[in-house]
Structure 1
Amino acid sequence: MPGDGDAKEGNAQQPVQHGSSQTGKPKSRVKSKDAATAVKRRCVSTACIACRKRKSKCDGNTPTCAACASVYHTPCIYDPNSDHRRKGVYKQDIDNLRNRNTTLQTLIQAILNYDEKDVPELVRQIRSCEDLEEVAESILAREKESDRAVTGGVSTDEDGGQSNSDVPQFESELSGKMSELMLEGSVKYVGGTSNLIFLPTELTLEESDTFLEQGEQVDDPITSWTNVTKNKELIGHLLTMYFTWHYAYFTTLSKKLFYRDFVTGRPSQYCSSLLVNAMLALGCHFSSWPAARRDPRNSATAGDHFFKEAKRLILENDEHEKSKLCTVQALAIMSVREAGCGREGSGWVYSGMSFRMAYDLGLNVDATGLTPNTHTDEEIDARRITFWGCFLFDK
């Protein structure tokens, strides 16, 4: 019968479909196992605290490892500092590096400080030795013996030790002489390699009367600063132009200290002929007065006559060789003026001279922390203003 045949065919087809569905599941399981075994367990340097306590394997997953999340259901916390097994090794490595660093520093300092005739022998010892620490120890022992020889004449107290009151304060004396040296009315800063640190203190703090020139009397203090003009009104006008239009944006000097010495006509570290002529040359660019120009009919010559006078003073008085606070300020102003006139190369020359002179004066050093501190509060303020002005000009 057709119906029976169809039923048989249907019954025959059902096992085939059923079998195919059963055989599909094991294949997926095999694939998942293969994928799991393909992923290697990664090495975990530090297990979580819970896995370390129960001594179980930790996969290092964050924020929670598989053991804490799925098996034990405990809080999972990672704390590398709590693993004390490696601290001993780390500490030993650090100590070894410190000892080696100390040894190398001792050897290098010895090579730098030894006399030329002793250096070859020291190098021979370093090359032929089995342990560098032994050479370093011998160097330190030699230095101690030399120190005893130097301090052999120092008086001792009742216990046989050295008296603190008689021991020379080498560190304080050396730091004071290394910090500052007063020459030609300006403080210079020298390093430990300079032989100037061996000058006596009373000489290093001596001011030069040739720079201050306080004994000279002038007829007209205002016009004594420049040879370009004797017109007091013009000088006052150009200074007003400078302080109005340029000083407010590029402050490089103390206006109060400048005017205090300007009206007296006496050169100081806050006012000089070079500085005044540089300021007048720059002030000419903000003035419409015909006298502000070298050629009254040519605006491109504004300030050229005062700038020429400033250059003459630099060459004739060797201003570039004498580091002074007012010279730093004048050179910075001259660099701005040259750059503003389109002569950038000349501007960089003057700015470079100004910056190097500023470092020679130690304007980059905080004067409040010096021992002994010979600067007044107004001088410290003027030094800070000048160094800040150099920074602005450099930008």
Structure 2
Amino acid sequence: MLRWLASPVARARLPLRIAIELLSTRVDQLCCFIRSNGLQPPPMPKERDSALTRILELLGLSEINSTLAQHTNCETIGKPSRETDPPPSKELPENRYTDAMQSQSLSSLPATAYGDTRTIVAGVGRSAQNSSSRSIMECWDWDIGLGTYITPNSSDVHCLFETTSPSGTLGTDSEGIDSLTDELSDRVGTLRIGPGGQTHFCGPTSNFNLPNMPISDTFESYRKAKHDVLQRLDRLGCNIEIPASLEEHLINLYFSWQNPFFHVVDRRIYEEAKVKWLDMKDTPFYSEALRNAILFGDRAKSLLEIELDCPCVATIQAMVILSSHEIGNGTDARGWLYSGMATRLAFDLALHLDMSAHVSSGDITAADADLRRTVFWAAYTVDQLLGFSLGRPCRTNMEDVTVGKPDHHASQWASAKWAPYIFPNSVDVDAGLLDYTEAVSQQQVALCELMAPCGYILYGTSHFSKTLLQELNAKIVAKLRHWKAQLPPALQIDLNDHSATYLPHVLLLHMQYYQNIIYAHRPWMSKSYLQPQPPKGPGYLHAREMCIQSAISIAKILVLYESRYTLRRINVKAVSITSSAILFLLFAAVCKYPSQSHHDIAAFLSTCFRALDEFSLSWQSARRAKDLLVGLQQQWEIRTRSSKILRRPNQIIPGLDAHG
């Protein structure tokens, strides 16, 4: 029995098919003997009879075997019963087993699965209708979906009986059965590695998560995408050859300004994979959707539809890039969906799993494992940050994530140099700065993990008391401050030092930190909304102070960034961060924030609004954000002026008093 369970046939649930094979063989024997004028059929081998009995019992078809035994144990078939024979059972309605019904029932059997068996069975049915003993076929329920099975090879059937005991017990005391049940009881899941390092993760509740299961054709079907890409572009009317010089220019811009902050593509691996793709070789690290996501977003969206049928690592990379592209274009819903799809697909392709063992065994290379790690954390980071930016923070289950974080070894951080690419021949790479992209990625992940509870507790539930929420939030703020204090020297900045050199992605990292401080304090700005009663903790004035001071810090970083690189090629994340700063600088302006002169607040506001103007040259969302914020400024000014007119002399405006 163990041999049969280990065979490919066992994995296709063969017991029902084997039973059908046995019955078909038996029917064939009956046909022969019917044609021989009722000779006694030979007895069935004992072990096969026992196995058939047991299988039919397990399938709930034991009545078939009973009827079979009733008719095969007679001395003859087709002869009148003896006086000693039991009386025939009550006849069924006369019209139930007509030739027409036999024909209709048997026509549902696929000829490809059973061949001449349908003809043989039909012959038995018609011959047995004229017999005093009813045919076995009269008791067969044909509506059991036989068409979904294929007759197993005789060798596979033989394996079933070869190790089955005469009693029909299916190996209940076998070590193989224990091993099988252990696999079925697994609560973790199984990683599949297909051709070219293509991976897929089958979770524990999947029907296909057992070890050594055959690999689905899906692993190789992404090759078909190569043939579909040109056809799709032709239908869209955008199958235009991209000049090599233009492609190189756009790629340089992407890797210089966008990829370092949302680090999802390794340029060396991308270019190597592209060569393989063009040579018609399999690689999960390049696709036309990824290439066009870097170059042209609209083309990439169309090509992505092809890849969703056979996704690979490059598909996730394309989704991460397209997410930022759509957010920048103001299509927030599509951008958020792309980031969510990228995260879910990362789990589907098992990017969340540690691949050390598979690297050691040679299944994949160390470079491939590193890229998988990079892509997973990029997808996670983009999804988390975008959730906060859109006011839709969501919780991603990270309990099953075993892949390592972005490289934490400082000695490996600056293995390359970064230079501010603008146009061809505008950069001297040797004169560039040491690139700390990996370090920035690591710190981004840390920030996202620190802020995750803020998203699903402070902003995501109302089941906690105000006191408990305040305690939890205080811990988050303490961790944020500790994070900033513990940054390595290469990632530290001085807001008042206008001569030091800073990487653009390092400046953006600090802007993200200050936006997180705003997120953590914003709900506590009200005197009564979340503040515990009696008052406890730092209070609403402290929350207002933290939000306004963080907004001022963001404005100062924008000045540092603009003086070094201009703001035209900044990462799209800056739109959300700058909008947060403007919101609270407007609040400071209308409430006459005391710790800064009105002139200073106005200057910071001017810096941020001007930044949105610069962003809008690249990102449509910046123009929309500016229009909304200008409208909000006008509304707030009208409200505060109306309050001044209506209030009595020396009365303080509620919520806008001398304390902010």
Give the shorter-chain TM-score range.
0.3 to 0.5
Greater relative contact order, per chain length (Cα 8 Å cut-off, separation 6+): 1
TM (norm. structure 1) is: 0.44
